[in-house]
């Protein structure tokens, strides 16, 4: 039957049928510990009772009306998110790419309203912002762009974690915004130096540019703050969310503050499904559950436990070039391509990811127990040691990551 699916993914030969918290069971009844959460989506784990109850209740009441009417659940979720992020307004959509599309349109309109003829958005090398034409152009990875030219105009890229490179663009009158991930996810779990976002905030303020943070992977508590930019005590002008906001229910959001919040008016943007009563009800249940169980602080605590565990077991091991992370976004960089670790982990009943070829990426759910966290450390560490012992180091020795 899979012959009828476009082969956009090289899928692993496993299908899951049921989940409970951090556990998943496949069609043969085998059990797996989930250290990936569907790529940072199921922060509350699988089959969370609060999410399930909200979904069931709302499904029996009302799924969809239209954005031509008021949608109380959307107003409630908008107010809740604005309260958590100190933002003013929200546009709801169905995915991360759509949230970034809204941010890109907002920035362009903001520019045109100020007389900028060719509004340009600065993004960073190694970034990931989505797969639509504008968001793949914003993405700082040529592999994602190749074959889809012509790309969209109005984007410029600079190295990540390099304030001087952005400062150097200050004389370009077309720049209207900087779009940046607080921690690059797909790019290899790259956290910038402390002060990077605050530095960007200052540069944007000096130039009248919008600071737009893509919190699609980092948001909803994952890094140990509700939103990762809050580690630096700054406020962005625009913030995008998706992944963890619905715990598996498709939903995205573009939040804005101040002048940016007033930019998109009637007729300037829209969506049929975005912000429907069901998706917003689930978003509210996700926020309730994170609050009730103090999962933002718990993500910080679990992240430290995992990071310390990996440092104890893997620091100094030849072939391990870096162990890094922020909360429950963790990366272990090796000196060689290590994609096969995903299948090796699967055989051990553990779900992990490898990104940027050489970085093992872990995005476990925020509801992990200490025992589950320790099990992830033990399993991944021994898999890494075995893998490094069995495979050849790259010619020319270890390269930096
Ligand atoms: C996943 C992701 C996106 C794209 O989200 P989709 O829902 O797949 O469109 C954009 N930005 C970041 C940082 C992401 O991690």
Indicate the pairing of strand 23-26 with strand 329-334.
unpaired
Residue 325 carries which DSSP code?
E
Residue 350 carries which DSSP code?
E
Per domain, the residue ranges of the chain are: 2-34+294-390, 50-292
Report the pLDDT averaged over residues 238-258: 98
> Residue 319 pLDDT more than 90?
yes
Strands of 222-352 (E only): list them. 238-241, 252-256, 320-326, 329-334, 350-351
Q: Quick: pLDDT tens for 347-393.
A: 999 999 999 999 999 999 999 999 999 999 999 999 999 999 999 98
Kindly report the number of other CB atoms within 10 A of residue 115's CB atom: 7
Q: Tokens 């759910």 correspond to what residue?
A: 365
Catalytic residues: 128, 214, 243
* Nearest residue to 247 (alpha-carbon basis) of 366, 354, 355, 74: 366
* Nearest residue to 185 (alpha-carbon basis) of 154, 139, 252: 139
Report the pLDDT averaged over residues 315-343: 98
Residue 322 to residue 334: CA distance in whole angstroms: 7
Report the pLDDT averaged over residues 135-148: 98
- The reported pLDDT for the residue numbered 397 is 55
* Nearest residue to 36 (alpha-carbon basis) of 24, 27, 53: 24
Confirm if 239 and 233 have CB atoms less than 8 A apart. no
- Tell me which of 92, 242, 244 to substitute to probe ligand 1's pocket, judged by most ligand atoms within 8 Å of the beta carbon: 242
Indicate the pairing of strand 23-26 with strand 16-20.
antiparallel
pTM exceeds 0.75: yes
For 349, counting Cβ atoms within 10 Å of its Cβ (0-12 exposed, 13-18 middle, 19+ buried), the class is middle
Query: 399: pLDDT confidence band, cut at 50, 70 and 90?
Result: low
**In terms of pLDDT, which residue wins out, 401 or 223?**
223
The Å distance, Cα 319 to ligand 1 centre, comes to 30
- The reported pLDDT for the residue numbered 395 is 84
Q: Quick: pLDDT tens for 269-290.
A: 999 999 999 999 999 999 999 9
Q: What is the fold of 50-292?
A: 3.40.640
> Residue 169 pLDDT more than 60?
yes
Indicate the pairing of strand 238-241 with strand 252-256.
antiparallel
Report which protein residue has its CA nearest ligand 1's atom 8: 96
Kindly report the number of other CB atoms within 10 A of residue 244's CB atom: 27
The Å distance, Cα 115 to ligand 1 centre, comes to 31
Site residues for ligand 1, CB cut-off 6 Å: 95-97, 100, 128-130, 181, 185-186, 214, 216-217, 242-243
For 224, counting Cβ atoms within 10 Å of its Cβ (0-12 exposed, 13-18 middle, 19+ buried), the class is buried
Q: What is the fold of 2-34+294-390?
A: 3.90.1150
* Closest-lying ligand 1 atom to the alpha carbon of residue 132: 9
The Å distance, Cα 217 to ligand 1 centre, comes to 7
Report the pLDDT averaged over residues 36-57: 98
Report the pLDDT averaged over residues 129-136: 98
The Å distance, Cα 376 to ligand 1 centre, comes to 25
Residue 129 to residue 180: CA distance in whole angstroms: 9
Confirm if 350 and 316 have CB atoms less than 8 A apart. no
> Residue 133 pLDDT more than 60?
yes
Q: What is the DSSP string of 264-291?
A: S-TTS---SSTT-HHHHHHHHHHHHHHH
Report the pLDDT averaged over residues 115-124: 98
Confirm if 205 and 173 have CB atoms less than 8 A apart. no
> Residue 400 pLDDT more than 60?
no
């Amino acid at each position: 039957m899979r012959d009828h699916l476009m082969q956009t993914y090289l899928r692993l030969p496993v299908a899951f049928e049921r989940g409970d918290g951090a556990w998943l069971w496949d069609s043969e009844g085998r059990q797996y510990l989930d250290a990936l959460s569907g790529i940072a989506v199921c922060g509350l784990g699988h089959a969370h009772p609060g999410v399930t109850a909200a979904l069931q209740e709302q499904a029996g009441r009302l799924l969809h009306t239209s954005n031509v009417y008021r949608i109380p659940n959307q107003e409630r979720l908008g107010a809740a998110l604005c309260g958590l992020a100190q933002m003013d307004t929200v546009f709801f959509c169905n995915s991360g790419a759509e949230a970034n599309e809204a941010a890109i349109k907002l920035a362009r309109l903001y520019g045109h309203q100020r007389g900028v003829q060719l509004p340009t958005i600065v993004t960073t090398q190694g970034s990931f912002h989505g797969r639509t034409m504008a968001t793949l152009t914003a993405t700082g990875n040529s592999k994602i762009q190749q074959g889809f030219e012509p790309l969209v105009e109005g984007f410029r890229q600079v190295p990540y974690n390099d304030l001087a490179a952005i400062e150097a663009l200050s004389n370009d009158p077309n720049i209207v915004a900087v779009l940046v991930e607080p921690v690059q996810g797909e790019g290899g779990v790259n956290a910038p130096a402390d002060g990077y976002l605050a530095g960007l905030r200052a540069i944007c303020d000096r130039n009248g540019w919008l600071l737009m943070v893509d919190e699609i992977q980092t948001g909803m508590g994952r890094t140990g703050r509700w939103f990762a930019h809050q580690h630096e005590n700054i406020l962005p002008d625009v913030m995008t969310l998706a992944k963890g906001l619905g715990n598996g229910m498709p939903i995205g959001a573009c939040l804005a503050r101040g002048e940016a919040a007033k930019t998109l008016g009637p007729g300037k943007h829209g969506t049929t499904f975005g912000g429907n009563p069901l998706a917003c009800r689930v978003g509210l249940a996700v926020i309730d559950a994170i609050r009730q169980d103090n999962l933002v602080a718990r993500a910080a605590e679990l992240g430290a436990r995992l990071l310390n565990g990996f440092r104890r077991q893997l620091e100094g091991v030849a072939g391990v070039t870096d162990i890094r992370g922020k909360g429950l976004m963790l990366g272990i960089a090796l000196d060689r391509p290590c994609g096969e670790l995903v299948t090796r982990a699967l055989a051990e009943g553990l779900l992990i990811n490898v990104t940027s070829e050489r970085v093992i990426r872990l995005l476990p759910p925020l509801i992990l127990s200490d025992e589950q966290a320790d099990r992830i450390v033990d399993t991944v560490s021994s898999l890494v040691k075995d893998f490094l012992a069995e495979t050849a180091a790259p010619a020319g020795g270890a390269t930096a990551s």
